Amino acid sequence: MSELSHVDREGRARMVDVSAKADTARIAVAAGELHTTAEVIRLVRADDMPKADVLSTARIAGINGAKKTSELIPLCHQLALSSVTVNFGFTDTTITIEASAKTKGPTGVEMEALTAVAVAGLTLHDMVKAVDPAATLNGVRLITKEGGKHGHWVRPEAEGHHGEHHRHEKHEKAAAATAPLAGVGRTAAVVVASTGVAAGSRQDTTGPVLTEWLGAQGFSVRGPLVFADADIAFGLADALSTEPDLVISTGGTGASPTDGTPEATLALLDRELPGVADAIRQAGTAKFPLAALSRGVAGLAGRTVIVNLPGSPGGVKDGMAVLTPLLEHLLAQVAGGGSHE
């Protein structure tokens, strides 16, 4: 775009007239991070801050911020949001924030996603300032957006903590089909199904392991994206919204009444890969008989491979061992290459 859409010919601010635009499904994902101290990270993860329930408070604040974007940003349109999610991750000295917003209408939801990140981050700052008044909110940025005239847009440069990279160009997929490493030039998303982790009452012991492993395999990784068990269907759809080559979920595959990851995955699949899921179960059962209770599935949603792994560190380790020799050939086949001999 060669000119500012919110400025008229006389240089005055204006609200863009979107009445002639068609209503389409709109999705936007934004991210940011609060840089703080290792002590704050320990306290937040243990839910032991002077102001309790840190992550839940910041999550609600971010959702509320998205809903009030038109009141905070003067030229934004009022939107009927159909969904807003806010998720958090950790490094040694950082709380990462990722927010997604959805609507159906004539204009995008980028500002709503960005506002959710900003408000959630400022709320985190408020919650931790008694321990670390020097904490800083950095890197609030749009990651991806979908819908409207311009369709799918992904942030062009690789960036972010937890391997949060989002380069997703078609020529990269073609090159990846002959790449020596399974993930070179390819994208992945990690989804964690855990009500406790989503609420901040439990530590995520599987998502970071998967993101680190995928990064070492050469993937650009989004996540871990953490969702309560009841929200896993939306979590998987959110992961698929950026059309990654691979989505790996962890958790929610057992026989508990709240375990719904397999059902949510099956609703998204075009074709199943039963041999992959069976091999992961067999690898786990050989060492831990209860692994046979996992109901995880694997398959294809368009050109994205989706694999469910159990929510235990051991189950994830078994899954990685099974997937490592398969990924290069599997993803090459899905992309239209790979040998069938």
Q: List active site positions.
A: 126
Give yes or no for a contact between 33 and 161, defined as CB atoms under 8 angstroms apart.
Answer: yes
27: nearest Cα among 166, 148, 146: 146
Give yes or no for a contact between 296 and 310, defined as CB atoms under 8 angstroms apart.
Answer: yes
**Sequence-ordered list of residues with C-beta below 8 angstroms from that of 264, at least 6 positions apart, any chain:** 232, 233, 236
Count of CB atoms situated within 10 Å of the CB of 158: 11
Question: Which residue type is seen at 309?
Answer: L
Apex 243 CA angle, 240 and 248, nearest 5: 50
Residue 244 token pair: 């990654």
Residue 88 has phi, psi (to 5 degrees) of -125, 150
102: nearest Cα among 1, 234, 281: 234
Distance in angstroms (rounded) separating the CA atoms of residues 254 and 220: 29
